[in-house]
Structure 1
Amino acid sequence: MRLFFLLTFFTLFIAAAFGQTNRIIQVEDSTTHEPVIGATIRTPTSIKPVVGTITDGRGKATMPEFSATITTLTVSAVGYKTESFPIQLGADTLVFRLKAADESIDEVTVTATRTNSRIDDLPIKVEVLGQEDMDEESAVVPGNVSSILGDISIIHVQRTSAVNGNQAIRMQGLDPKYTQILRDGLPLYEGFSGNLGVLQIPPLDLKQIEVVKGSVSTLYGGGAIGGMINIVSKSPTSSTPEFTALLNRSNLKETNLNAYYSQRYGKTGLTLFSGYTNQQAVDVTGDGFTDSPAIKQFNFHPKFFWNPSDRTKLDIGYAFTTEHRAGGYLPALEGTMPNAYQNVTDLQRHTVDFNASHNTSARNSLTVKGAVSTFHRQNTDYQKLSDGRQSSVYLEANDLVRFGKHQFISGANLTVEAFRKNPDSTRLVDYTYNTVGAFVQDDWQVGETVAIQAGLRFDHHNTFGNFLLPRLSLKLKPSDPWTVRLSVGTGYKTPNLFVNQTPGASMVSLIFPRLLPIDVTTVKAERSVGTNIDVAYSRSFENGFSVQVDQAFYYTYVNSPVVSAFASMSSNLGAYTQLINAPYNLFSLGTDTYVRLEYKAYELYFGYNHTLARRDGASDNSYLPLAPQDKFSTTLAWENEHFRFGIESSYVGTQYLYANQKVANYWFFAAAAEYHYSDHWRLVLNGENLFNIKQANYETVVSGPITQPSFRPIWAPLEGRIVNLALKYTL
């Protein structure tokens, strides 16, 4: 009603001021040429009275003929720069194109697919958590990105250790090893270096997170069988310095201090992130063992940008992480019972990455990118030391050519993973894996309603052989609000001791002192095929209401999965663990529903995922352990000039352990309140797991002697309620 009266008010003013024939004004996005709904058009403030109008659902508005004293009109809209446009004499229709106010609008540009295409143009389904999401998460859960990823219904964040707090990601119900994680389009978290702390990346210096659903191993090689997650860093956007500092404290004795700086200096630019986390060990349940580990972590991430010309771009980054993490029997960590169980990890990660691109013409772009990384970790578990170092290299060159309705990209890449064992208590051995790959991909916009993406990759692994990976995706747009995407692709995963975060059978241990080296003569790589169907509806209305609905269906089949099993050999900790090809296959079949509603200051999200993930064998058809079949998520948020409130809830149900042992269903509730004063200060109070749901409420998690305890599989939260208060300052 208020919008109706406002439109009437503007119309009466226009009629009174001009009283002449009408002109049609069209307001569009300067990049996409899509109509801008709700844009305000007004006459200059220097000429009284000031009159104006607002664009409708088609981005159009009507204004009477102008007097000779009015030569420009000012146009403004949320998310766009306010600009003044000259009035073209004699033109019945005026077209004004607005530019994005800043790069936050570019969150719909996807980088993981190498073509830097808009998310709406891609034939494959990608979900993007953008700059606004990262800004909110940096104050709500500043220490890591696991919380925001867990809000997506198709993703389940699985805790893999009862005492050290390690987490992993499941997509489409499959084990965590089938989800590939990239940082700025680089696969840096494979093998020994990817087992711990991937999700401990702070969100403050992130621009967006891209979630590609389904089999996309064609893009970056083996691993992306269930999906791929690309974590994208910020880049400098303005010559005005940007500085953000954040201080956070939680009831679990966690303190976070993070700072981010960004600025452009002509043709160069710099971003700099530094973060420190200090968390004390906490026993929430009173059983003597840590439910929240002690963590001391420091991150340092500078990145330098250079644009010598409009055609050439270069960025070079360095990332350093050091961490001390300790869990186990709390008196042992405090030094009063040194012989009791402890799990202590010290790690350091150094990474240098680069990305260079050159546009040889308006239709051709060459890109060379890569990373060199070293990772050193010492772990003491059950008083046994494991000590190893991994060196990783990733290099890629690709050529993107645009011609007609095609975007054709071809390239090659090299991946090196070299593990070296230091003297310790394990039976691990040194290894070096090399993978050389070549890929081609064609994005073909057949017509206004049809687009096709076809890809083919060939990989040669020095130990596990050759892999040919075709993939085909189709996008249909039968009408403006509807989009249909269909995709089918193949994938593979090579055996690796350090990526099997879920034991293959009950009581099989994955601690390093029990692992045996892989027998490469008998263990072969896994291969998969998967298909996805996605139907989306998106529409905005003149009254400010918008709706987005997305319904997905998926199916994945994995042949001869590599699992951990008991070996015939024994140690003083029990039987050793070896990797084998299981005598069964795996499949995952499911649906994923996403609904997002926005109206003025309100935002409502629903997500429901139903997945049936099972073993497919002659004698074993059990459900995959620790893979919930039902997950429901919802978020309601409201915001005004100074306040923002949000509540979240999620339901995890129909979850099984080993041998189809069903566990309890549970609800998870969270709430956050934010007060922002001017554009500089924000105070955030956040509560996670408000009703204090813990696995210890349903069963005993730890049993056995305090020197060699046994831990139940983790299927529910351990820490219970978490409340944190964060203060954020932005310059």
Structure 2
Amino acid sequence: MKRIFMLLYFVLIVQGVSAQNTFRAKVINDQTKAVLNGATVTIPDLNIVSSADTSGLIVIHNIPDGKFEIEITYLGFAKSEHVYSFPLQDPRKILLISLGSASGELAEVTVQTTRANQNIRDIPTRIEALPLEELDEKSTMRPGDIKMLLGESTGIHVQQTSAVSGNANFRIQGLDSRYTQLLQDGMPLYAGFSGNLSLLQISPLDLRQVEFIKGSSSTLYGGGAIAGLINLISKVPEKDPELTFLLNGTSAKGADASGYYSQKWKHIGTTIFGSYNYNGAFDPANTGLSAIPQTKRFTINPKVFLYLDKNNSAWFGLNATAEDRLGGDMRVINGNADNLHQYFELNKTYRFSTQLSITHKINEESKINFKNTVGYFDRTLGGPGFDFKGRQLSSFNELNYVRNGEKASWVLGANLITDHFTAKPPQNNLSYSQTTAGVFAQNIYKANKWFSLESGLRLDGNSPAPSRPSSGIFVLPRINALFKITDHLSSRLGGGLGYKMPTLFNDESERDGYQYIEPLKIGNTQAEQSFGLNGDLNYRAPLGDEAFVSVNQLFFSTRVNRPLILQNNILLNAPGYLSTQGAETNVKLVMDELVFYLGYTYTDTRTHFDGMSMRQTLTPKNQLSFDATYEIEGSFRFGAESFYTSRQLLSDGTTGRGFVTFGLLVQKMFKHLDIFVNAENLTDQRQTKWGSIYTGSLADPKFKDIYAPLDGIVVNAGIRIKLLDK
């Protein structure tokens, strides 16, 4: 009998041990497939809480038999909730659990601008990224260009340079547009002369991400990135084909029609984007001058992607844009010119470029990349009794080696940039050629889980060379540090040197239409050189299960020595320096389907010439933006936004008034159709309401600085048709 009791006791022990199960799972991002180390797993009924290790692996032992709900959460991602029956069918199998991005949150984003293709949270350089979800919203607000997309970003100010043609440029942290590099897929398609009108000729529908680096970035891509850089990342073909058409009309006599197609097969893929944009001349104030010019633009961007094998891939693309833009006296535009009505501004442009990218994967950690672009840009700028005609032929070549190790990541490379501008008679003496050869090295070192250091060094040689002290040779160091202080608090601190070669094309000469400008003598002109610092604090934390808050506070300071200015139609180095410093504050609160965003920028930009300090003109000290969005994913979106721009010093010594604009967006989404209505500037803030924008006669107007909108209230509505959709 004793032996029977012992046998029963042993059987019970074995059964009890066998009832203790193990749960194994790996947590990844459903889009990038990157592991989500630190993801939290909870079994509420058992009061068990654990987290994923550095490889994203979750292991929980001693789970009894039965059915239990297991919750997996990660900041910025939607919660995963599943019921599992224990024992599992295959107890040794590691389950793969994918988490999708939470609504309204910029989660695991891989950035390309630093070439290392790493997660935005792990890079010491401060990078801001607008993902596809936000670009989708912007493409319905202004489908024809990226002017609004940039203008609504904290720290970026869009400045209109023409009162009648709508020409505009943008300033980062108070510095002129010539100090910012605008890239497409990491290539400078919009440099020099071809940068003119670029804001107005790029559609957001063809983009899947936009990346901003504010502050000195010349070490990354060479001269011209003193204020920062903007990288426009194009869409690529995905597993599922896509065919989308967008039709849009505006109350300001505008119409847009665009289409996008992409498909990926086993060894080949393609994307094709095309658009036609039209706007009739629009004069809401009845001044007799166009606030929006008559515009006709056609764009086509086809690309072919090759997936040769698992280690080799390439893509090739073409970009072509043709545009006619006519602004000025409304009677001239309508063909009724006479002795009194004869003023006009004509911009006729043709833009064509090729892009080539080849990637060879050496192993899981290393690869070699080659990039090339060749660009052709032709522009005619005309007015009464004056024409400025020129064409630019430019090229960019880069070869780089990338290695992403567990502790250290390296990027080593070299590039060659050529820029050849030919001005047509009678301004043919403005022609020039410039060649830049550079080598660079970048390193990201992850010392431990809380500290990473990114350093870089570039050596550039320019020909023809500017005046001493540089003589065309520039050594550009750069360093940035990332401190992950806690799970919710991090900080970045960095700085670097920058430079900008002398060029004809800047905000002042563009505003004056190049009418009487003297040829630039590079050998007698010094390059502009800079030093910049920036630092930020970033706090991110959940507020319960369905909400989180994100706060970022940035401080910046940049000094540009001997900046190039236009004086008596001559471009020369100013006797002193330009400085800008300030702060940006960004607060984002996400509560399930409701998202609030608050952005504030303080900018103090001054010139220090001949011992005198003066505020820079057309640079608001204070800018404030507020945005509220309610969205049911895939069904409905409602947004409201407001912007405040403070008073600005004008070039005639007066001060422009501050103003507030307000906008609304309503969008209804169906399976294959989106319907949207958007209204901008509902407060009808117009500079023409506060006085005349020109002096002299209508036949020969002398325009004042444009610091506020001219087009007033503009409502647009349209549909997006998704015949093939993921």
Q: What TM-score comes out, normalization by structure 2 length?
A: 0.88
What does residue 491 of structure 1 align with? 498
What does residue 581 of structure 1 align with? 573
CA distance in 2, matches of 1:105, 1:370: 31
| Partner-residue secondary structure (3-state), 1:177 | helix
Aligned with residue 642 of structure 2, among 649, 653, 675: 649
What does residue 513 of structure 1 align with? 515
Aligned with residue 355 of structure 2, among 349, 353, 359: 353
Change (3 A) 1:235 1:584: same
What does residue 457 of structure 1 align with? 458
- Residues 88-167 of structure 1 mapped to structure 2, 5 A cutoff: 96-99=95-98, 108-167=109-168
- Residues 215-234 of structure 1 mapped to structure 2, 5 A cutoff: 215-234=216-235
| Partner-residue secondary structure (3-state), 2:283 | coil
* Identical-pair percentage: 32
Contact map agreement 1:85 1:96 (CA 8 A) in 2: no
CA distance in 2, matches of 1:479, 1:168: 40
Contact map agreement 1:184 1:232 (CA 8 A) in 2: yes
1:549-570, Cα deviation, whole Å (9 max, x unpaired) = 100000000000001111xxxx
- Structure 2 unaligned regions, length at least 5: 1-18, 53-57, 467-471
1:653-700, Cα deviation, whole Å (9 max, x unpaired) = 1421237532211111111011112x2111111001011001112221
| Partner-residue secondary structure (3-state), 1:285 | coil
Deviation at 1:83, TM superposition (A): 10
What does residue 592 of structure 1 align with? 584
| Partner-residue secondary structure (3-state), 2:608 | strand
1:470 aligns with 2:487: no
Aligned with residue 376 of structure 1, among 357, 375, 378: 378
Change (3 A) 1:619 1:638: same
What does residue 242 of structure 1 align with? 242
Deviation at 1:382, TM superposition (A): 2.8
Contact map agreement 1:75 1:84 (CA 8 A) in 2: no
Aligned with residue 716 of structure 1, among 697, 705, 708: 708
Change (3 A) 1:24 1:295: same
Deviation at 1:495, TM superposition (A): 1.3
Q: What TM-score comes out, normalization by structure 1 length?
A: 0.87
CA distance in 2, matches of 1:632, 1:489: 28
CA distance in 2, matches of 1:400, 1:36: 28
What does residue 5 of structure 1 align with? none
What does residue 689 of structure 2 align with? 697
Change (3 A) 1:605 1:25: farther
| Partner-residue secondary structure (3-state), 2:35 | coil
Contact map agreement 1:426 1:514 (CA 8 A) in 2: no
What does residue 557 of structure 1 align with? 559
1:289 aligns with 2:289: yes
Deviation at 1:383, TM superposition (A): 2.9
- Residues 433-444 of structure 1 mapped to structure 2, 5 A cutoff: 433-444=434-445
Aligned with residue 669 of structure 2, among 673, 676, 684: 676
Deviation at 1:90, TM superposition (A): 11
1:583-633, Cα deviation, whole Å (9 max, x unpaired) = 221100101101111011100001111011001233431111111110111
Change (3 A) 1:55 1:101: farther
**Partner letter of residue 620 of structure 2?**
P
- Residues 81-92 of structure 1 mapped to structure 2, 5 A cutoff: none
- Residues 161-176 of structure 1 mapped to structure 2, 5 A cutoff: 161-176=162-177
Deviation at 1:454, TM superposition (A): 0.7
1:501 aligns with 2:493: no
Change (3 A) 1:87 1:157: farther
Aligned with residue 415 of structure 1, among 404, 417, 422: 417
1:10-29, Cα deviation, whole Å (9 max, x unpaired) = xxxxxxxxxx9797676722
Identify the range of structure 1 (121-130 vs 172-181) with the bigger mean alpha-carbon deviation: 172-181
Identify the range of structure 1 (75-84 vs 225-234) with the bigger mean alpha-carbon deviation: 75-84
CA distance in 2, matches of 1:102, 1:249: 32
**Partner letter of residue 304 of structure 2?**
F
1:686 aligns with 2:687: no
CA distance in 2, matches of 1:81, 1:321: 46
Contact map agreement 1:406 1:444 (CA 8 A) in 2: yes
CA distance in 1, matches of 2:705, 2:403: 50
Change (3 A) 1:105 1:654: closer
- Structure 1 unaligned regions, length at least 5: 1-19, 42-50, 567-576
**Partner letter of residue 262 of structure 2?**
S
What does residue 613 of structure 1 align with? 605
Identify the range of structure 1 (21-30 vs 720-729) with the bigger mean alpha-carbon deviation: 21-30
Identify the range of structure 1 (148-157 vs 90-99) with the bigger mean alpha-carbon deviation: 90-99
Change (3 A) 1:85 1:518: farther
Contact map agreement 1:556 1:589 (CA 8 A) in 2: yes
CA distance in 2, matches of 1:157, 1:100: 37
Contact map agreement 1:27 1:36 (CA 8 A) in 2: no
CA distance in 2, matches of 1:375, 1:87: 66
1:505-559, Cα deviation, whole Å (9 max, x unpaired) = xxx9621222211022322110000000011011224421111110000000000
Deviation at 1:64, TM superposition (A): 6.3
Change (3 A) 1:267 1:542: farther
Change (3 A) 1:205 1:129: same
Deviation at 1:106, TM superposition (A): 8.3
Aligned with residue 662 of structure 1, among 634, 655, 668: 655
| Partner-residue secondary structure (3-state), 1:136 | helix
CA distance in 1, matches of 2:168, 2:47: 49
Contact map agreement 1:673 1:684 (CA 8 A) in 2: yes
Contact map agreement 1:28 1:95 (CA 8 A) in 2: no
Contact map agreement 2:272 2:301 (CA 8 A) in 1: yes
Contact map agreement 1:88 1:94 (CA 8 A) in 2: no
Deviation at 1:501, TM superposition (A): 1.2
Change (3 A) 1:56 1:144: farther
CA distance in 2, matches of 1:100, 1:341: 59
Deviation at 1:422, TM superposition (A): 2.4
What does residue 469 of structure 2 align with? none
1:379-426, Cα deviation, whole Å (9 max, x unpaired) = 212331122111010000011124451111111101111011223x43
Contact map agreement 1:73 1:86 (CA 8 A) in 2: no
CA distance in 2, matches of 1:595, 1:74: 28
Deviation at 1:52, TM superposition (A): 10
CA distance in 1, matches of 2:47, 2:651: 60
1:28 aligns with 2:34: no
Identify the range of structure 1 (654-663 vs 378-387) with the bigger mean alpha-carbon deviation: 654-663
1:42-69, Cα deviation, whole Å (9 max, x unpaired) = xxxxxxxxx99999896899996445xx
**Partner letter of residue 382 of structure 2?**
T
| Partner-residue secondary structure (3-state), 1:459 | strand
CA distance in 1, matches of 2:244, 2:47: 35
| Partner-residue secondary structure (3-state), 1:204 | helix
Change (3 A) 1:700 1:148: same
What does residue 188 of structure 1 align with? 189
Contact map agreement 2:492 2:537 (CA 8 A) in 1: yes
Change (3 A) 1:54 1:365: farther
- Residues 246-265 of structure 1 mapped to structure 2, 5 A cutoff: 246-265=246-265
**Partner letter of residue 478 of structure 2?**
R
| Partner-residue secondary structure (3-state), 2:232 | strand
- Residues 276-425 of structure 1 mapped to structure 2, 5 A cutoff: 276-337=276-337, 340-423=342-425, 425=426
1:58-88, Cα deviation, whole Å (9 max, x unpaired) = 6899996445xx8999999977999999977
| Partner-residue secondary structure (3-state), 1:471 | strand
